[in-house]
Structure 1
Amino acid sequence: MLRQSCRLTRQIPQPPPSILARRINARQVLCRPRFSTQAARRHTEPSRHSRQDAAKQSLLKKMGETAATTFASIFVLALGFAASGYIYHKSYKMLVLKKMTRAFEPGDPVLDMATTAKGVPRKVAPEDEHWVQRPEQARVDRIVDGRESGHYYLLMGEKGTGKSSMLLEAMRKTNGDGVAMFEAHADTEIVRIRLGKALDYEFHEDYIGGYFSERGPRETTALLDIERALNKLEKVAMKMVKQRRKPLVVIVNQLHLLRNTEEGRDLIELFQQRAEQWAAANLVTMVFNTDDYWVYERLKLLATRMEVLAVTDLPKSQAINALRKYRMRYFKEIPNHKELEDVYDRIGGRLSFLNRVAKSRDMIRTCERIKDTEKKWFLNQCWILGSEMDDDVMDQQKWAAAAMVLASALVDKEAEMAKTYDPVVGHLLPTFPFHMAQELMTRADFIRDLDSLNLFSITSQADVRASSVPMHIAFKEICSEPRFRKHLEDTIQRISDIESLGRTRELVAKDLVLGGEYDIETSRKGITVRLKQPEEKDD
């Protein structure tokens, strides 16, 4: 069989290559499987849909992965920012309390400045002590040291009696341990800054969180800032009182510098409310220092734990000893006793005057200068203009005339006193009760302004007198001048005439011709005015 097949293949002639290629192509076309067009489309469409679905699924998957990654990144960042912000906020609060705690450690900026300015060392030996010991110094020492608590205190007295010096001396003895002191001011914003400096509190001005908010914590009033500072102080005091076993001390010096307005009175009330609470809890003892009586009147309204320490001029014996010490300190000399008594008779026991006289070579001449200065100050503020006064200055002259009336009344009362000088106590200045002084002046609102100008003084017992011995001597010189009483009466009469003119209404009658007259009739309904013309006579 194989042989025959081979033979047969040998006998078949081979066609040309081109014809063979055509046959092969034709066979391939004939042998290719034939399917309908519709069936092919049905098989290809599902494959395209599957590829599109797979592409959509992969896109959604990628979007989901991207969104999840983004969300996770944002969440981590937000969590990190929140955690860091929370940690910063807590650490900032802890730092604020720590800084305020350091403010009550030994050493104080006010004490450093005072000792540097006065050349006083922090520790003074008892034999080198040159300070004038006032009777109130021992109690002030106990208050500043924290040994006397349960109250808050108001040091009240005239300018130059040594109130601030006593407080600084008490702080020097304790090296400012547990004490903070600051000066008041007429502007509450400056009070806020000074309180922050004393307590080492920045009022959130260095708080970084304020950069990320529309309104920072500082954008508020001064009273609210002071309230926040006192809240922080309360937290510090509650921690420190457990360690110290005695309260902290906060001194507000020269409280009278606040304006007697609604804002100033609100600030005083804010301080007093805290002082009452802290005194009851033995946390903080607040000490106020003032020269003016209106501060006492404001504190008296709500006072339950307040104690008043009246600081007056030194008595004669202590004033002479103080002058002797001052003279020894500045000139290394001890004047005779008669000269010292002469100085006291002229200026009294005011420490500021004694210090000024002791620094002078000619003490008597300096005493006269002090008296002349006080006299000119009084005349510049309160001199009266007499009967030729213009009506435009009537309001000021009311105030000046009232002051002159009070000054002359004090001089007249001194002449009626049985004793005006005591060999031990010294000067006994004439006084009037506060209500009597208002009656003499015929005004109730002038006396407080005169006290603020240091022309008259209102004591803690509500007695009105001259602000100092040189001022009272100036009163006597003014009232003893010739024609002073007449000049004062003319001024008062002129003021009365101007007021009378202001209350008088002038009616001008017209059309009263040829014997005409007005008929005025008064009844319950009012006043009726009729014009009566004379009867015309026939020619």
Structure 2
Amino acid sequence: MPCEACLSHVRDELNHVTRAFFTTCPKRNEKTSDTSKDGPKSQNHSSFRNEPSLSSRMLESAATAFASLVVLGTGFGLGGYLYHKSYKWLVLHKMEGAFEPGDPVLELAAIGKQIPNTIASQSEEPEAHWILREEQVKIDGIVNGTDRGHYHLLIGEKGTGKSSMLLDAMKKVDGEGISMFEAHADLEIFRVRLGKALDFEFHEDYIGSYFSERGPRDSTALLDIERAFNKLEKVALKRRKIVGRPLVLIINAVHLLRDDEDGRDLLELLQQRAEQWAASNLVTVVFNSDDYWVYERLKVLATRMEVTSVTDLPKTQALSALSKYRAKYYKEVPTSEILAEVYSRVGGRLTYLNRVAKSKDMIKTCDEIIDVERRWFLNQCWILGMEMDDDVMDQQKYAAAAMVLALALVKRESELASQPNADGSHNIPQIPLHIARQIMTRADFIRDYDHINLFTITSSAFVRADSVPMQRAFRSICTEEGFEAHLDATLQRIGDIESLGRTRELVAKDLVLGGRYKFLLRDGERRGEKVTEVVLEEKDGG
């Protein structure tokens, strides 16, 4: 049997090997307390030796935080980029939808119209019209995209049928590739209406604006309109590649823009885009205006603009339409004398023919129209005569100039009475614009007269009454007994007030007592200076 010392030595060697094994084994911490003879003392010693240092733990925490930030940043960045790209795609997609068939303007017009509504509306038979104007063929070509390479200005008096022809042309193509909206004097309202017509939100619904320094509306109306046109240009480029026809943008009632700095800036912006798009066959812009000043403003920079003047109907078309309307809806055939009398009173203006055609007593309705025009003119421009107060002189200058021009047109009408047109239609008297300004002795009033529908300025720069009823109103006023004397008295009073304003009166009270002044011219203190000295002389015997 081995001795006790040998057994002790073997036991020590086994313990040494066991400790070395558990120190190097990956599973050294599993159930160490159950198998080790040294128990807790050996386990604590092993844990102390394998615990990581403070710098290692700090480095591990930093790496974990950095990895989290990278993952979150990458996720947010990728999500933001995808949202930005999808938003830009959605903006163009929505704008493309604004030019798809079916325009809201056509829907509103259909709701507001009941057949028969206007004398130029369609009847139940397809492609049958009460009146087919000569200009309709050209407007159809503009709207359907066959007439390209130009932008267009439709100009004419209120109620001649410009908007109706545009709506009719849109209806024939179901509004495909066309957008139409009404202009407004306020640029913000103009911006909103343009956005509605193009289905463009001006990035007001863009979530990224919450994280930017500048807000989504921190801009001007003109800049927003420019951004909308940039998007429209991209849509038009895509359409030209696919369809081969330009888009059509119709701006109705452009005369409502103010003739001030903001209005002129907006009109210049619209014209620049219209010129550029017409040259590249991207978008055909159509301006619709009642006033001459829009044409005058656009003509300065126009190179590709075409002007279409829309006037009253000629006598043959007007009487034919009126006769058909009465026969269909009133079962009566008006005599040629009644039709001729109606035309002589209201002319060929569609808005007046529509009212007359739907009334039971056509002649009475004609007289009511003339009376309304007469009262409108008198309320705006009646003169006050010699008794007027000097406080109203500015308004009376405006009124007297209108009366002078109306009298000139009435006298011109009497000269043309013996020269009827070949078709028997009205030969409405007109005067060249520069001569009209000379007659009024003012150049600034005529635009305002045109705007409030007293006189009209044609595209060929002639001035005439706004309509046949207005010309008859001029005639009834200017042929009244004593009118010219009343007008002369008003002009005389205006001249007297202006003379008083330019005159300064000096009253020398000493002369009333019989004194006399002596004027002496002597040299002044400075070289070459002359001084007038006034001395009061004593009265003789005083």
TM-score by length of 1: 0.86
Q: Which residue does 2:114 correspond to in 1?
A: 119
Q: Distance in 2 between matches of 1:161 and 1:242?
A: 37
2:515 touches 2:539 (CA, 8 Å); kept in 1? no
Kindly provide the amino acid, as one letter, of the partner of residue 344 in structure 1: Y
Residues 79, 253 of structure 1: CA spacing in aligned structure 2 closer, same or farther, 3 A cutoff?
same
Aligned residues: 487
Q: Distance in 1 between matches of 2:515 and 2:151?
A: 80
Q: Which residue does 2:82 correspond to in 1?
A: 87
Q: Which residue does 1:493 correspond to in 2?
A: 492
- Counterpart secondary structure, 1:432: strand
Report the Cα offset of residue 529 of structure 1: 4.4
Report the Cα offset of residue 235 of structure 1: 0.4
Report the Cα offset of residue 514 of structure 1: 6.1
The answer to whether 1:202 aligns with 2:201 is: yes
Q: Distance in 1 between matches of 2:499 and 2:520?
A: 26
Counterparts of 1:319-468 in structure 2, within 5 Å, are: 319-328=318-327, 330-417=329-416, 419-422=418-421, 424=423, 426-468=425-467
Q: Distance in 2 between matches of 1:329 and 1:267?
A: 47
2:139 touches 2:165 (CA, 8 Å); kept in 1? yes
Q: Which residue does 1:45 correspond to in 2?
A: none
- Counterpart secondary structure, 1:422: coil
Report the Cα offset of residue 304 of structure 1: 0.5
Q: Distance in 2 between matches of 1:235 and 1:521?
A: 84
Q: Which residue does 1:65 correspond to in 2?
A: 60
Residues 83, 364 of structure 1: CA spacing in aligned structure 2 closer, same or farther, 3 A cutoff?
same
Report the Cα offset of residue 324 of structure 1: 2.3
Kindly provide the amino acid, as one letter, of the partner of residue 72 in structure 1: A
Q: Which residue does 2:283 correspond to in 1?
A: 284
Residues 356, 60 of structure 1: CA spacing in aligned structure 2 closer, same or farther, 3 A cutoff?
same
Residues 505, 514 of structure 1: CA spacing in aligned structure 2 closer, same or farther, 3 A cutoff?
closer
Report the Cα offset of residue 332 of structure 1: 4.3
- Counterpart secondary structure, 1:444: coil
Report the Cα offset of residue 420 of structure 1: 4.8
Please give the per-residue CA displacement for 1:352-387, whole angstroms capped at 9, x wherever unaligned: 000011111110000000000000000000000000
Residues 522, 323 of structure 1: CA spacing in aligned structure 2 closer, same or farther, 3 A cutoff?
farther
Q: Distance in 1 between matches of 2:115 and 2:170?
A: 13
Kindly provide the amino acid, as one letter, of the partner of residue 470 in structure 2: M
Q: Distance in 1 between matches of 2:491 and 2:302?
A: 40
Report the Cα offset of residue 233 of structure 1: 0.4
Please give the per-residue CA displacement for 1:219-248, whole angstroms capped at 9, x wherever unaligned: 211111111001100000000011111111
Report the Cα offset of residue 58 of structure 1: 1.5
Stretch moving more, 379-388 or 214-223: 214-223
Q: Which residue does 1:476 correspond to in 2?
A: 475
Q: Which residue does 1:226 correspond to in 2?
A: 225
Q: Distance in 1 between matches of 2:438 and 2:156?
A: 24
Q: Distance in 1 between matches of 2:74 and 2:328?
A: 69
Please give the per-residue CA displacement for 1:495-527, whole angstroms capped at 9, x wherever unaligned: 000000000101122444764322346899677
Counterparts of 1:155-194 in structure 2, within 5 Å, are: 155-194=154-193
Q: Report the aligned-residue RMSD.
A: 2.4
- Counterpart secondary structure, 2:463: strand
Residues 526, 284 of structure 1: CA spacing in aligned structure 2 closer, same or farther, 3 A cutoff?
farther
1:457 touches 1:467 (CA, 8 Å); kept in 2? yes
Q: Distance in 2 between matches of 1:124 and 1:82?
A: 60
Structure 2 residue aligned with 1:107, among 102, 107, 122?
102
Q: Which residue does 1:153 correspond to in 2?
A: 152
2:122 touches 2:128 (CA, 8 Å); kept in 1? no
Residues 303, 239 of structure 1: CA spacing in aligned structure 2 closer, same or farther, 3 A cutoff?
same
Q: Which residue does 2:22 correspond to in 1?
A: none
- Counterpart secondary structure, 1:426: coil
Residues 171, 425 of structure 1: CA spacing in aligned structure 2 closer, same or farther, 3 A cutoff?
farther
Please give the per-residue CA displacement for 1:294-336, whole angstroms capped at 9, x wherever unaligned: 1111111110100100000000001112212333454344322
Q: Which residue does 2:249 correspond to in 1?
A: 250
1:419 touches 1:428 (CA, 8 Å); kept in 2? no
The structure with the larger Rg is 1
Q: Distance in 2 between matches of 1:120 and 1:139?
A: 25
Unaligned runs of 5+ in 1: 1-50
Report the Cα offset of residue 449 of structure 1: 0.4
Residues 521, 258 of structure 1: CA spacing in aligned structure 2 closer, same or farther, 3 A cutoff?
farther
Unaligned runs of 5+ in 2: 1-46, 523-527
Stretch moving more, 120-129 or 74-83: 120-129
Residues 250, 520 of structure 1: CA spacing in aligned structure 2 closer, same or farther, 3 A cutoff?
farther
Q: Which residue does 1:215 correspond to in 2?
A: 214
- Counterpart secondary structure, 1:288: strand
Q: Which residue does 1:139 correspond to in 2?
A: 138
